[in-house]
């Protein structure tokens, strides 16, 4: 790769990099050129066993540590991540193809936020005292044990931290399996955590495709699974976890609505639609890919949108001037182009884009379809690429009913100057992570997650603690036991 921050082996297990070339090779491809820039090997059963055994071994002592000490290690890791932001961002760009202008401010920084936030929270996680007259009960907040995190390819550093930080803060161990498409970044997260003082075995990273994920999920020594990925994979992983009654967090896909009323600040609304469709080349689960625009401003919205899309700087992601990079893989590019063809075949009006770029790498031009109707495939299925569908609507009730007419429920956004309407509409949208006059912000302080098919559980914020710990309740009798015989 020619970059000195590249991880030195395939897996990070029990506090060190380890290699087992017996595992199937996985090529690391730089999406901007298509060049092979590295190779890792899928975890063999021996690597998986070592990861699970070392995690189980280490977890008890970690849980017994003073929480403030656990937190200190996470906060130290956050500081190291921030110090190394540039190197980590370059690696993220090699892994995903996302432009450095994004990775410098959205990946290691977001990971550091999670480590800092949950590090700070660790010492305040307590049980409660419950008075029961003469008797009393108390609760102890306990870790779940060994958690498995399985990541998607769009935010490899962020996902590794969003799952790892709350898991570790609560006293769990974690084994993280990155997407085979983006195997590099999570290894650096593990390296940094251990440099910050995390004892060996508590944050292991193993490579592999779905089979490695399934081997981890099916192991009886694993207590919880947190997946970020697609709905079909979520269904499989949830079912497998259910077999052994494991805890789950599911962060899955969406087809989220973004509703623009005719009183909205036009440029802000266009900016929201751009953020919600083209950031990370459209590879964001919470994207507002169904943009409902009120009829009166539709053409003005489209004209301003087309103008601003022209301003996208598409090119070398390592050039900080670049604002739009390639898709993560040739396969994802082909999926996206397939959807573009479907949109055209179904009669949507192509406003801009609609084609791959004639250059190396997996580039797709930012694409906007107008006159999209609710029944079109491009309005129903998650595309996961830079393809925006603009639909028009008459009134508030119409917009709400149609926005909710989807099996998904991850996000929703409203642009309006009428704040009463903003809150009223958001109150009726069935989605977990919502925005008023904004789109796609994901601060660690606020819960993130979906309803309906978009998932189960919440990441970030104090809400995540509920998904990485459980309460033991203890009844204490102060007097004699009165048994019936
Ligand atoms: P997947 O849902 O297929 O994969 C997510 C993760 O789960 C990957 O690490 C994958 O491994 C792993 N996995 C796959 N099968 C299993 C299994 N049976 N048991 C355990 N783990 C498993 O997402 P993809 O990355 O393949 O992307 C496909 C689609 O998913 C995209 O087109 C997009 O629609 C959606 N997606 C949604 C994301 C979101 O944030 N909601 C993020 C990324 C994608 P591996 O891929 O290495 O085989």
Q: Give residue 165 CA to ligand 1 midpoint distance, Å.
A: 21
Quick check: 263 and 417 in contact, CB under 8 A? yes
Do residues 186 and 71 lie in contact, with contact meaning Cβ atoms separated by under 8 Å? no
| Distance of CA 145 from the midpoint of ligand 1 (Å) | 24
Catalytic residue among 92, 102, 251, 396: 251
| Whole-angstrom distance, CA of residue 190 vs CA of residue 365 | 35
Q: How are strands ordered across the β-sheet holding 129-132?
A: 129-132, 135-143, 469-476
Residues having CB closer than 6 A to ligand 1 are: 150-154, 177, 179-180, 209-210, 213-214, 217, 227-230, 233, 236-237, 251-253, 285, 335, 382, 384
- Structural contact between residues 234 and 388, judged by C-beta atoms closer than 8 angstroms: no
- Using left for φ > 0, alpha for ψ between -120 and 50, and beta otherwise, residue 444 falls in alpha
On whether the CB atoms of residues 176 and 147 are closer than 8 A, the answer is no
Q: Whole-angstrom Cα distance, residue 231 to residue 198?
A: 33
Exposed/middle/buried for 321, CB within 10 Å: 0-12, 13-18, 19+? exposed
- What is the 208 CA–ligand 1 centroid distance (Å)? 12
Which stretch of DSSP H or E encloses residue 291? strand 290-294
Examine the residue annotation and report whether 459 is marked as an active-site residue of this protein: yes
Instruction: Using the mean position of ligand 1's atoms as its centre, give its distance from the Cα of residue 230 in Å.
Output: 5
Which of 161, 185, 285, 352 is the catalytic position?
A: 285
User: Which residues does 263 contact at the CB level (< 8 Å), separation at least 6?
Assistant: 416, 417, 418
Q: What span, in angstroms and rounded, lies between the C-alpha atoms of 3 and 223?
A: 37
Model confidence over 303-320: pLDDT tens digits? Answer: 999 999 999 999 999 999
Note if 195 is an active site residue.
no
Give yes or no: 147 in active site. no
- Residue 253 · residue 232 · CB < 8 Å: no
Sole residue written with tokens 């790769």:
1
DSSP state of 198: P
Return the pLDDT at 1. 42
Active-site residue flag, 285: yes
The closest-lying atom of ligand 1 relative to the alpha carbon of residue 332 is 32
**Nearest of 114, 326, 126, 382 to residue 226 by alpha carbon:** 114
Residue nearest to atom 12 of ligand 1 (CA): 210
**DSSP states along 335-350:** HHHHHHHHHHHTTPEE
Three-state secondary-structure class, residue 299: helix
CB atoms within 10 A of CB 344: 14
Q: Give the up-direction half-sphere exposure of residue 28: CA atoms within 13 A in the CB hemisphere.
A: 27
Give the span between the Cα atoms of 470 and 160, in whole angstroms.
Answer: 22
Nearest-angstrom CA–CA distance, 110 and 103: 10
CB atoms < 10 A from the CB of 71, how many? 23
Distance between Cα 374 and ligand 1 center (Å): 26
Check residue 6 and give its pLDDT: 83
From residue 432, give the alpha-carbon distance in Å to each of 360, 408, 446, 451, 454: 38, 10, 11, 6, 9
pLDDT for 425 beyond 60: yes
- Residue-level pLDDT at 252: 98
Q: Average of pLDDT values for 111-139?
A: 98
pLDDT in tens, 229-254: 999 999 999 999 999 999 999 999 99
* Phi, psi at 459, each rounded to 5°: -105, 165
Q: Please answer whether residues 38 and 28 qualify as being in contact, where contact means their C-beta atoms are separated by less than 8 angstroms.
A: yes
Best probe residue, ligand 1, of 152, 279, 281 (max atoms within 8 Å of C-beta): 152
Average pLDDT, the chain: 97
DSSP string across 409-477: -SEEEEE-S-HHHHHHHHHHS--SEEEES------TTS-B--SGGGEES-BSTGGGGGGTEEEEEEEE-
Q: How many CA atoms lie within 13 A of 295 on its CB side?
A: 5
**pLDDT above 80 for 85:** yes
What burial letters (b/e) apply to 403-415, b meaning 16+ CB within 10 Å? beebebbbbbbbb
Q: Whose CA is nearest to atom 48 of ligand 1?
A: 209
Find the DSSP H helices in 374-418: 377-380, 396-403
Instruction: Answer left, alpha or beta for residue 449, where phi above 0 means left and psi between -120 and 50 means alpha.
Output: left
Query: Percentage of residues in the chain with pLDDT exceeding 70?
Result: 99
3 has pLDDT over 90: no
**pLDDT category of residue 4 using cuts at 50, 70 and 90:** low
Mutation to probe ligand 1, out of 24, 28, 148, 210 (largest number of atoms < 8 A from CB): 210
Location of structure tokens 């540590």: 65
**Among the options 102, 147, 163, 255, which is catalytic?**
163
Q: How does pLDDT run across 193-220, given as a tens digit for each residue?
A: 999 999 999 999 999 999 999 999 999 9
- Which two three-digit tokens encode residue 3? 């970059």
Q: Which positions ≥6 away from 283 have C-beta within 8 Å?
A: 96, 153, 154, 327, 328, 332, 384, 385
Distance 84 CA to ligand 1 centre (A): 28
Q: Contacts by 83-88 with C-beta closer than 8 Å and gap 24+?
A: 84/5, 84/108, 84/192, 85/109, 85/112, 87/3, 87/4, 87/5, 88/5, 88/157, 88/185, 88/188
* Cβ pair 145, 194 in contact under 8 A: no
Confidence of residue 150 (pLDDT cuts 50, 70, 90): very high
HSE at residue 95, side-chain half, CA atoms within 13 A, is 30
Q: CB–CB of 385/282 below 8 Å?
A: yes
């Amino acid at each position: 790769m020619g970059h000195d921050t590249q991880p030195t082996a395939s897996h990070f297990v029990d506090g060190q990099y380890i290699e087992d070339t017996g595992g199937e090779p996985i090529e690391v491809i730089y999406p901007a050129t298509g060049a092979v820039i590295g190779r890792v090997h899928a975890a063999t059963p021996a690597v998986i066993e070592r990861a699970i055994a070392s995690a189980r071994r280490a977890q008890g002592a970690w849980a017994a540590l003073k929480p403030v000490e656990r937190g200190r290690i996470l906060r130290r890791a956050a500081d190291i991540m921030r110090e190394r932001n540039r190197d980590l961002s370059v690696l993220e760009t090699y892994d995903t193809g996302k432009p450095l202008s994004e990775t410098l401010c959205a990946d290691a920084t977001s990971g550091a936020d999670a480590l800092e936030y949950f590090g700070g929270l660790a010492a305040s996680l307590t049980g409660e005292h419950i008075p029961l007259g003469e008797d009393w009960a108390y609760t102890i907040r306990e870790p779940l044990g060994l958690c498995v995190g399985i990541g998607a390819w769009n935010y490899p550093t962020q996902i590794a931290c969003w799952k790892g930080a709350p898991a570790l803060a609560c006293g769990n161990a974690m084994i993280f399996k990155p997407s085979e498409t983006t195997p590099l970044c999570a290894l650096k997260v593990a390296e940094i955590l251990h440099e910050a003082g995390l004892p060996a075995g508590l944050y292991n990273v193993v490579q592999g495709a779905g089979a490695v994920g399934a081997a981890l999920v099916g192991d009886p020594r694993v207590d919880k699974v947190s997946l970020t990925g697609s709905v079909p994979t979520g269904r499989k992983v949830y079912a497998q976890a259910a077999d052994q009654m494991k805890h789950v967090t599911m962060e899955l896909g969406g087809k989220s609505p973004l509703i623009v009323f005719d009183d909205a600040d036009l440029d802000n609304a266009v900016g929201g639609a751009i953020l919600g469709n083209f950031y990370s080349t459209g590879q964001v689960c919470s994207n507002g890919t169904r943009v409902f625009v009120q009829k009166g401003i539709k053409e003005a919205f489209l004209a301003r949108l087309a103008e601003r899309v022209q301003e996208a700087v598409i090119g070398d992601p390592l050039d900080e001037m670049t604002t739009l990079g390639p898709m993560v893989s040739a396969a994802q590019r082909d999926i996206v182009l397939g959807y573009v063809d479907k949109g055209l075949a179904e009669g949507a009006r192509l406003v801009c884009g609609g084609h791959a770029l004639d250059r190396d790498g997996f580039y797709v031009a930012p694409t906007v379809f107008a006159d999209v109707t609710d029944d079109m495939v491009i309005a129903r299925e998650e595309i996961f690429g830079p393809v925006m569908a603009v639909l028009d609507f008459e009134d508030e009730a119409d917009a709400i009913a149609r926005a909710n007419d989807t099996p998904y429920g991850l996000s929703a956004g409203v642009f309006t100057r009428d704040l009463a309407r903003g809150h009223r509409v958001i109150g009726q949208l069935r989605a977990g992570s919502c925005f008023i006059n904004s789109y796609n912000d994901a601060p660690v302080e606020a819960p993130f997650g979906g309803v309906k098919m978009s998932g189960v559980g919440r990441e970030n914020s104090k809400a995540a603690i509920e998904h990485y710990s459980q309460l033991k309740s203890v009844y204490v009798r102060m007097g004699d036991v009165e048994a019936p015989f």
